[in-house]
């Protein structure tokens, strides 16, 4: 953004130089106006120390979750905060302090860097080690304490912070927002593709977080059959609705799910496991590889292995057949707890 504005500025300056050279003196650059413009630009790019001090001051707060920050310190602003794990490890993540009362901690993002890469680099939520039946758990990152990524790059690559396993929560919120969208724009609802949250405190039944839930429902090749799905939880929409959710996936999968849910640990016809079916509950058929994300380490056929397994089955984003929409495929899935 800054870069673009800078380019525009440089562009404008050079345009004015052109006019300076080629037009009569009556249209010569107005020095007063140019100076003002330069000052505005300087103001725009100058470090805002007051703001920096405000966000840096947040580090004195002691909290294990964004909900703690809301409840103990009455923090109400969306943005980056500091959290501390039970063992005393300090980390930073994003807090959504506005949706449905706020207090939501960003714990992970699932990002597909290349839908053509089949369990290759960047497929941390399935496997980076190739499609391999001897690695049924793949990278195992749904149920380990490994962390990766940073909060500011959560829409540009995978992200997992200690909150994923350290926070004991009741509910989840999920945001699908376009890849590469900068953090300062995440909370603009118009930028979202889909947003929803649960409110029946389902996590209390599964150990309080996804780390525990996926221990009960391992994301593992051949762990069971299609009917051994994990829980499907009803959702409240914060952006979008049942109809718009359907359209994010291909016309064929639409006949096999019901919108209005988030489902955990789906298994397809070929015994591949997937972690999350976002916004939907599989009802008939077992072709979940076209609309559920994350996975174990093996899919058959191999073309389906990856963080967004077979979202591109009928060519990327053509909204035909089994393929998910382009906007869905090119959006990161942000997972929050409260």
Ligand X SMILES: *[C@@H]1O[C@H](CO)[C@@H](O)[C@H](O)[C@H]1NC(C)=O
Query: How many beta carbons lie within 10 A of that of residue 86, not counting itself?
Result: 11
Residue number with the smallest Cβ distance to ligand X: 139
Contact 328, 310 (CB under 8 A): no
One residue of 2, 3, 4, 50 binding ligand X per CB under 6 A: 50
Bridge partners, 148 (sequence order): 160
32 part of the interface to ligand X, by CB under 6 A: yes
Segment lying near ligand X (by CB under 6 A), choices 51-59, 65-73, 184-192, 280-288: 51-59
CA dihedral 143, 147, 149, 151 (to 10 degrees): 90
| Contact status: 128 vs ligand X (CB under 6 A) | yes
Per-residue b or e along 139-172, where b marks 16 or more CB atoms closer than 10 Å to that residue's CB: bbbbbeeebebebebbbbbbbbbbbbbbbebbbb
Identity of the residue, 117 or 140, whose beta carbon is nearer to Ca ion in the bound complex: 117
List the single partner that 252 binds among Ca ion, ligand X, none, CB under 5 to 8 Å by kind.
Answer: none
Q: Which of 17, 35, 54, 180 binds ligand X (CB under 6 A)?
A: 54
What is the rounded end-to-end Cα distance, in angstroms, of the chain?
Answer: 32
Q: Which of Ca ion, ligand X, none does residue 241 bind to, with CB < 5 to 8 Å depending on kind?
A: none
3-state class percentages of the chain: helix first, strand second, coil last, to nearest 5: 30, 20, 50
Residue 180 interface partner, choices ligand X, Ca ion, none, CB cut-off 5-8 Å depending on type: none
Binding site for Ca ion (CB under 5 A): 111, 114, 117, 122-123, 158, 287, 306-307
> How many residues sit in the footprint of ligand X (CB under 6 A)?
19
- Residue 157: both structure tokens together: 């690559």
Distance CA 310, CA 305 (A): 7
| 99: contact with ligand X by CB under 6 A | no
Q: Does 124 bind ligand X (CB under 6 A)?
A: yes
Residues within window 222-261 making contact with ligand X, judged by CB under 6 A: none
CA dist 20 and 239 (Å) reads 50
Task: Tell me how far apart the alpha carbons of residues 203 and 207 are, in angstroms, rounded to a whole number.
Answer: 6
Q: Which 3 state secondary structure label does DSSP give 142?
A: coil
Can residue 14 be called a binding residue for ligand X (CB under 6 A)?
Answer: no
> Under the criterion CB under 6 A, does residue 20 sit at the interface with ligand X?
no
Name the DSSP letter for residue 315: S
Interaction between residue 144 and ligand X (CB under 6 A): yes
Which of ligand X, Ca ion, none is residue 40 near (CB under 5 to 8 Å by kind)?
A: ligand X
Give the C-alpha distances (Å, rounded to integers) separating 91 from 81, 94, 187.
Answer: 8, 10, 21
Q: Report the partner that residue 227 touches, choosing among Ca ion, ligand X, none (CB closer than 5 to 8 A by kind).
A: none
CB under 6 A: which stretch of 72-80, 138-146, 285-293, 308-316 binds ligand X? 138-146
Using the rule CB under 6 A, is 53 a contact of ligand X? yes
Pick between residue 113 and residue 173 the one whose CB is nearest to ligand X: 113
DSSP notation for 46-103 = S--HHHHHHHHHGGG---SSHHHHHHHH-----EEEEEE-TT--EEEEEEE-SGGG--
Site for ligand X in 145-164 (CB under 6 A): 146, 148
Q: Give which of ligand X, Ca ion, none residue 307 binds (C-beta under 5 to 8 Å, depending on kind).
A: Ca ion
What is the Cα–Cα distance from 316 to 22, expressed in whole angstroms? 49
Residue number, 144 or 329, with CB nearest to ligand X:
144
141 counts as binding ligand X under rule CB under 6 A? yes
Q: What is the dihedral of CA 37, 40, 46, 47, to 10 degrees?
A: -160
Check residue 22 for interaction with ligand X (CB under 6 A).
no
Site of interaction with ligand X (CB under 6 A)? 30, 32-33, 36, 39-40, 43, 50, 53-54, 57, 124, 128, 139-141, 144, 146, 148
């Amino acid at each position: 953004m800054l870069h673009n504005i800078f380019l525009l500025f440089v562009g404008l300056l050079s345009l004015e130089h052109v006019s300076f050279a080629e037009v009569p003196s009556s249209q010569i650059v107005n020095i007063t106006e140019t100076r003002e413009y330069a000052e505005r630009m300087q103001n725009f790019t100058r470090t805002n120390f007051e703001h920096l001090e405000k966000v840096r001051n947040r580090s004195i707060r002691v909290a294990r979750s964004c909900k703690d920050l809301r409840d103990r310190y009455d923090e109400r602003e969306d943005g980056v905060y500091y959290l501390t794990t039970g063992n005393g490890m300090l980390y930073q993540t994003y807090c959504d302090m506005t949706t449905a009362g706020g207090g939501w901690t960003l714990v992970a993002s699932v990002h597909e860097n290349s839908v053509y890469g089949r369990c290759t680099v960047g497929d941390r939520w399935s496997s980076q080690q190739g499609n391999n039946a001897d690695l049924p758990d793949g990278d195992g990152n749904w149920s380990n304490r490994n962390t990766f990524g940073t909060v500011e790059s959560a829409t540009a690559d995978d992200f997992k912070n200690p909150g994923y396993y350290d926070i004991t929560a009741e509910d989840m919120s999920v945001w699908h927002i376009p890849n590469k969208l900068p953090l300062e724009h995440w909370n603009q609802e118009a930028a979202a593709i889909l947003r929803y949250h649960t409110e029946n405190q389902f996590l209390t039944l599964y150990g309080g977080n996804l780390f525990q839930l996926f221990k009960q429902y391992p994301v593992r090749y051949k762990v069971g059959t299609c009917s051994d799905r994990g829980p499907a939880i009803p959702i409240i929409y914060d952006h979008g609705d049942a109809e718009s959710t359907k359209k994010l996936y291909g016309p064929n999968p639409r006949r096999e799910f019901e919108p209005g849910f988030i489902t955990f640990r789906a298994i397809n016809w070929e015994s591949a496991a997937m972690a999350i079916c976002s916004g939907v509950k599989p009802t008939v058929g077992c072709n979940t590889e076209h609309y559920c994300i994350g996975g174990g380490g093996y899919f058959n056929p191999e073309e389906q292995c990856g963080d967004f397994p077979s979202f591109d089955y009928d060519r990327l984003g053509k909204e035909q057949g089994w393929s998910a929409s382009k906007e869905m495929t090119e959006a990161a899935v942000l997972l929050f707890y409260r």
